[in-house]
Amino acid sequence: MQKEDLVQCHNRIAPYIHRTPVLTSRLIDKMAGAELFFKCENFQRMGAYKMRGATNAILQLSEGQRSKGVVTHSSGNFAQALTLAAKSLGVKAFIVMPTSAPRVKKDAVLEYGGKIIECEPTLEARKAAALKIEAEMGTTFIHPSNSVNVIIGQGTACMELLEEHPDLDFIVVPVGGGGLIAGTALAAHYFGNKCKVIGSEPFAVDDAYRSLQSGKIELNKTTDTIADGLKTNLGDKNFPLIRKYVNSIIRVTEEEIVEAMRLIWERMKIIIEPSSAVAFAAVLNEKDKFKNKKVGIIISGGNVDLKKLPF
Amino acid sequence: MQKEDLVQCHNRIAPYIHRTPVLTSRLIDKMAGAELFFKCENFQRMGAYKMRGATNAILQLSEGQRSKGVVTHSSGNFAQALTLAAKSLGVKAFIVMPTSAPRVKKDAVLEYGGKIIECEPTLEARKAAALKIEAEMGTTFIHPSNSVNVIIGQGTACMELLEEHPDLDFIVVPVGGGGLIAGTALAAHYFGNKCKVIGSEPFAVDDAYRSLQSGKIELNKTTDTIADGLKTNLGDKNFPLIRKYVNSIIRVTEEEIVEAMRLIWERMKIIIEPSSAVAFAAVLNEKDKFKNKKVGIIISGGNVDLKKLPF
């Protein structure tokens, strides 16, 4: 993947996404002892950066492929992203979701015009259901995080951030399936000025931390975290990029995630989801590392259930 | 009050306030059937537009007056605003607060370095305590909403909004003590292009609605509303401006306020307080009036207790 791939991707998806603002806060900077730049993908269409990768993946399909629709398995933000991107481009979207998925997530997909295919709540059942649709209908499967076109799309958030603040010392992003951090690391490599990319993870799902240590993809043993977007594992497309370009991973506790989320809600008056708070928690957690540095933080999304807040 | 007073005020306070962003949302526009422009004073310093008026009021004092400090009675946003403005300008601030004021409000004043004077929880006791400080120490009393310098300061939010969007048909603002709506109406008169200013109030505290009907200042009989910033009454400085320049007042129910607040939190991912939601609720409530019009809405503040949400 070259610099030009990112530039072309950004031009390709620009008409379908928001250019999100970069916010700053003197109070938050004072608390962190660093200069922080929040790239607000919670203000992105459908409320998360996933809109970028989903849009790019569909735009890279041929006319013939598009006519047969796209399919993915996700109960989170990528389901909404693929559905909305498909709708914007006049393409059918099939979303495989476990029967146990919350009503609110299903409603969001239906609202954007997606078709839900229900399956048993296991990873195997989800994969099988998606494969079946692919085989029977010729629909193209788009993976939420382990797809080159998705990774490049997610990298455009970092491109925009570095365009406005080219001299960032660090960019910190949450790590779930690895699509965002791989795209960010690629973009920081091509557009940053010695900008280091750092991942952040809850201790409860620290598969990326352990994978970087062992040199192979490690799996999560539990999924017991409030950061519901970060429970998935890395993949063979994004892990090599993470190994090559990511500086390190910082792990944080559940208490630190909730406290970081509360601080951003209270002080910056923006709604971010727990997964996004993980990145800010990492900066608060290792203050010495970031002291007086310019640090970009990608606020990955703002989709929360207001009836189930941790405060 | 002339156009020039507003221009000079804006120049005077600019170094001490944020120029807040104007946000838009396609989804919200679709729901309202109008083009809405949200002036986000929830992103203002200390989280509300009150910072503007408080800063202007202190900057208009003489050196001698400043050396003796300022005093106000408020248990809400103006207490924090006057304290932070005073701190920025090296002036002492005394805040009269009822013994019953929530701990979180007191802490906010103390955090900014203000001195709290406690009194009984009645309006008479608050006034008496403030007068005592004024008399004994030569401290200048600054009223939260019924002061010319405060009113002009609050008007600068509307000035900025009209600078960016000069062709707004309407601006809708919540009405509490009347400082914001009086300043807004004045600014719309001088800087708008036939822009009508509309106030919005909860039915439970519809003193402004009744005052415009009777032609004299009416009082609230109850204070039973979630919009805690709107319980106060109009004053003799702002009411004449409201009578002269405000088009009308729209009243909304408590349910409509909560629903409007929820929509903005969920769809725009920003934190606004119930008082701010009243203005958006008014637009949703009279869709015919605003149909296909360009409507500015001043999001007055974002200070909420996350432990006591109405969702």
Two structure tokens written together for B248: 């009308």
Taking only the tens place, the pLDDT of each residue in B194-211 is: 999 999 999 999 999 999
pLDDT of B85 higher than 90: yes
In this prediction, residues B230-253 reach a mean pLDDT of 97
A42, A266, A302: residue with CB nearest B306: A266
Complex ipTM, two decimals?
0.94
B192-B198-B199-B204 Cα dihedral, nearest 10 degrees: -170
pLDDT of B75 higher than 80: no
- Residues A113-142 as b or e (16 or more Cβ within 10 Å = b): ebebbebeeeeebbeebbeebbeeeebbbb
Residues 6+ apart with CB under 8 A from A14: none
CA distance A60 to chain B (A): 26
Two structure tokens written together for A10: 């950004």
Distance CA A58, CA A54 (A): 6
Two structure tokens written together for B124: 């008479």
Per-run averaged pLDDT (10 residues), chain A, 311 residues: 97 97 95 98 97 98 98 91 97 93 86 93 90 96 97 98 98 98 98 98 97 97 92 96 98 98 97 97 98 98 93 91
pLDDT of residue B259: 98
Could you tell me which residue, B75 or A211, shows the higher pLDDT? A211
- Identify all chain A residues contacting B272, using CB atoms and an 8 Å cutoff: 269
Distance CA B92, CA B110 (A): 12
Q: Which range scores top for mean pLDDT: B98-102, B119-123, B206-210?
A: B206-210
Helix (H, G, I), strand (E, B) or coil at A74: coil
Indicate the angle between helix axes A179-191 and A3-13, nearest 10 degrees: 110
Q: Which regions of chain A carry the CATH code 3.40.50.1100?
A: 3-48+147-299, 51-141
Question: Tokens 């594992």 belong to which residue?
Answer: A233
pLDDT of residue B76: 86
Distance CA A157, CA A17 (A): 11
Distance CA A50, CA A52 (A): 5
The catalytic position among B39, B50, B105, B237 is B50
Q: Radius of gyration (Cα) for chain B, nearest Å?
A: 18
Hey, how many other C-beta atoms are within 10 angstroms of the C-beta on A40? Answer: 24
Q: Please check whether the domain covering A51-141 is classified as CATH 3.40.50.1100.
A: yes
A43, A270, A307: residue with CB nearest B271: A270
DSSP A262-279: HHIIIII-B---HHHHHH
pLDDT of residue A49: 98
- Residues A157-181 as b or e (16 or more Cβ within 10 Å = b): bbbbbbeebeebbbbbbbbbbbbbb
A47, A306, A311: residue with CB nearest B262: A306
pLDDT of residue A36: 98
The answer to whether the CB of B180 falls within 8 A of the CB of B59 is no
- Residues B106-120 as b or e (16 or more Cβ within 10 Å = b): bebbeebebebbebe
Where does the pLDDT of residue B212 fall: very low under 50, low under 70, confident under 90, or very high at 90 and above?
very high
The answer to whether the CB of A277 falls within 8 A of the CB of A264 is yes
B37 has which bridge partners?
B296
Contact B269 A21 (CB under 8 A): no
Hey, what amino acid is at A90?
G
Two structure tokens written together for A25: 């806060």
Q: Radius of gyration (Cα) for chain A, nearest Å?
A: 18
B262, B271, B307: residue with CB nearest A269: B271
Cα separation of the two ends of chain B: 42
| CATH fold for domain B3-48+147-299 | Rossmann fold (3.40.50)
B256-B261-B267-B272 Cα dihedral, nearest 10 degrees: 160
pLDDT of residue A93: 97
The answer to whether the CB of A295 falls within 8 A of the CB of A36 is yes
CA distance B38 to chain A (A): 14
User: Which residue in chain B is spatially nearest to A270 when comparing CA positions?
Assistant: B270
pLDDT of residue B184: 98
Phi and psi for A78 in degrees, rounded to 5?
A: -70, -30
CA distance to A230, B35, B196, B283, per residue, from B291 (Å): 42, 9, 14, 9
Among B residues 85-144, those touching chain A with beta carbons less than 8 Å apart: none
The answer to whether the CB of A297 falls within 8 A of the CB of A38 is yes
CA distance B240 to chain A (A): 34
Put simply, whether B30 touches A (Cβ < 8 Å) is no
Contact A271 B265 (CB under 8 A): yes
The answer to whether the CB of B254 falls within 8 A of the CB of B202 is yes
Tell me the CB-side half-sphere exposure of residue B216, using CA atoms within 13 A. Answer: 0
% of chain B at pLDDT higher than 90:
91
pLDDT of residue B45: 95
If we measure between CA atoms, which residue out of B167, B239, B176 comes closest to residue B202?
B176
Where does the pLDDT of residue B7 fall: very low under 50, low under 70, confident under 90, or very high at 90 and above?
very high
Put simply, whether B18 touches A (Cβ < 8 Å) is no
Tell me the CB-side half-sphere exposure of residue A226, using CA atoms within 13 A. Answer: 22
If we measure between CA atoms, which residue out of B93, B95, B90, B87 comes closest to residue B63?
B90
Two structure tokens written together for A249: 């991973």
A301 has which bridge partners?
A48
Two structure tokens written together for A29: 């900077």
Two structure tokens written together for B111: 């955090």
Report CA B22 to chain centroid distance, whole Å: 17
Residue A50 annotated to the active site: yes
Residue B75 annotated to the active site: yes
Hey, how many other C-beta atoms are within 10 angstroms of the C-beta on A275? Answer: 31
Hey, what amino acid is at A229?
G
If we measure between CA atoms, which residue out of A41, A107, A100, A44 comes closest to residue A79?
A107
